Chain A
Amino acid sequence: MKKKIWTLCSVFVAAVAVIVVTAYSQENVKSVQDSAFKTKMRPGAVFLHDEHNKKAEIDDCGTCHHVYKDGFKVEDETSEDRECSECHKIDGDPVPLVTKYHLRCKGCHEEKKAGPIMCSECHVR
């Protein structure tokens, strides 16, 4: 009996640990939030990084984490280590950067006819 409880407890603790670690790890991102948006108007967009890319069959990180030089995409370079706003700068007006994000996400969803397109589908309250 005692042994059973111990096993159960350790399984439980292990499960919690796995959940906590995955939830906070860099690898499995759950929402997109750029620190350049100082006063936030909406909740960060829901985005389960790994699930999304598996479902959408995106293998090339550069699809989103692209690098451009002189107006051309650099094919073998990617930018996972940077926020979008490091290149797509905000100069007081958030609209251009918001649009970059929207066209990257919603633009593709429109093309593929799959995935969220309305405000409330991404900015879930």
Chain B
Amino acid sequence: MHDIYNFVSGPLVWVSFVLFIGGCIYRLISMAALAKKKDPVVYDYMNLRYALRSIFHWIIPFRSENMKRHPVFTIVTFAFHICLILVPLFLFAHIILIKESWNISWWFLSDSTADVMTLIVVGSCIYFLVRRIVQPEVKFLTSPSDYLILAIVAAPFITGFWTYHQFAGHKVMGIIHILSGEIMLVAIPFTRLSHMIFFAFTRGYMGSEFGAIRHVKDW
């Protein structure tokens, strides 16, 4: 167990962080270059004021017409993203491992709070899954890779919950947890999860075109 644990919680963490951060930088640069070549007007229309105005309206719940029309989805998706980002960054177990390795630490959530937030993420993933299967207009746009991405995102939360509660086989599950977390990090720049890095630019461009050119709201 020592050897496997040390490998997945040591070198593999480095590999996944390098691929995650390096991948994000690479995707941003190559996308910027592609836009310059194929769609240079993007650069002319981009306008900081209107971009920020639009981003502002879309990161606040029920600030857009579309969100008002889909209240349940809005609540689920905001709860999902908030928990998704806060839990791994502020989980005590993660903080303590970082402290032991690099002697740095920061604020953390109580284990019981993190536990509830983990369940919110898993519950939201189930909601997204059911929605994809049940709603015709969503089903139409769904490809098998969408299910795979959903599984990649849910996996660290399910396995982390399992390990924390020490259900049967929790030692092996702990190893799988670390692996699944690493897979998720690496998947962010190279799959549709890259909306994490592109969101601000797609939204910002929409805001710029609608605000500065068409003089209408885009929310």
Pair from one complex: yes
- Residue in contact with B96 in the complex, picked from A102, A107, A113, CB distance below 8 Å: A102
| A110 interfacial by beta-carbon distance below 8 Å | yes
The reply to whether the CB of B110 lies closer than 8 angstroms to some CB of chain A is: yes
Proximity string of chain A (28-42) to chain B, C-beta cutoff 8 Å, 1 when within and 0 when not: 000000000000011
* B174 at interface, CB cutoff 8 A: yes
A124 beta carbon closer than 8 Å to chain B: yes
Partner of B171, one of A42, A95, A107, A118: A118
Chain B residues closer than 8 Å to A99, beta-carbon distance:
96, 99-100, 103
* A91 CB, nearest partner CB in chain B, Å: 13
Q: Which of the residues B105, B110, B171 comes within 8 Å of A121, measured between beta carbons? A: B171
Given A119-B93, A120-B163, A124-B166, A95 and B105 touching (CB < 8 A)? yes
Kindly identify which residue among B6, B110, B163, B174 contacts A110, using a CB–CB cutoff of 8 Å: B6
Q: Which residue of B lies closest to A123 (CB)?
A: B166
With contact pairs A41-B110, A118-B5, A118-B174 given, residues A125 and B165 touching in the complex (Cβ less than 8 Å) = yes
Interchain CA distance A117-B171 in the complex, whole Å? 10
**B92 to chain A: which residues have CB within 8 Å?**
41
Q: Is A67 an interface residue (CB 8 A)?
A: no
Number of residues of chain A lying within 8 A (CB) of chain B: 21
Q: Count the B residues whose beta carbon is within 8 Å of the partner chain — how many?
A: 22
Q: Tell me the dominant secondary structure on chain B's binding face.
A: helix
B95 within 8 A of A: yes
Kindly supply a per-residue 1/0 record for chain A positions 98-125, scoring 1 wherever the CB is within 8 Å of any chain B CB and 0 otherwise: 1100110011011001100111110011
Provide the residues of chain A in CB contact with B1, threshold 8 Å: 117-118
- Whether A125 pairs with B166 at a CB distance below 8 angstroms is yes
Q: Is the Cβ of B5 less than 8 Å from the Cβ of A117?
A: yes
> Interface residues of A: mostly helix, strand, loop or mixed?
helix
Q: B170 near A: Cβ within 8 Å?
A: yes
Q: Chain A residues with Cβ under 8 A from B174's Cβ?
A: 118-120
A31 → chain B closest CB, angstroms: 16
From 164 to 181 in chain B, residues with beta carbon under 8 angstroms from any chain A beta carbon are 164-166, 170-171, 174
B166 touches A95 (CB 8 A): no
Residues of B within 8 A of A98 (CB): 96, 99
| Interface assignment of B2: CB less than 8 Å from any CB of chain A | yes
A65 to chain B, nearest CB (A): 21
- The answer on a CB contact under 8 Å between B100 and A106 is yes
Indicate if B111 sits at the interface (CB-CB under 8 A): yes
Contact B96 A120 (CB under 8 A): no
Residues of A with C-beta under 8 A to B163: 119-120
Q: Complex Cα distance A23/B165, Å?
A: 27
Give the docked Cα–Cα distance between A105 and B103 (Å).
17
- A residues near B, CB below 8 A? 41-42, 93, 95, 98-99, 102-103, 106-107, 109-110, 113-114, 117-121, 124-125
Listed by A's residue number, 7 A-B pairs whose Cβ atoms lie within 8 Å are A95-B105, A102-B100, A113-B2, A117-B2, A117-B6, A118-B171, A119-B93
Question: Knowing that A99-B103, A125-B165 are A-B contacts, what are 18 other residue pairs whose CB atoms are under 8 Å apart, sorted by A's residue number?
Answer: A41-B110, A93-B105, A95-B95, A95-B99, A95-B108, A99-B96, A102-B100, A110-B2, A110-B6, A113-B2, A117-B2, A118-B1, A118-B5, A118-B171, A119-B164, A120-B171, A120-B174, A124-B166
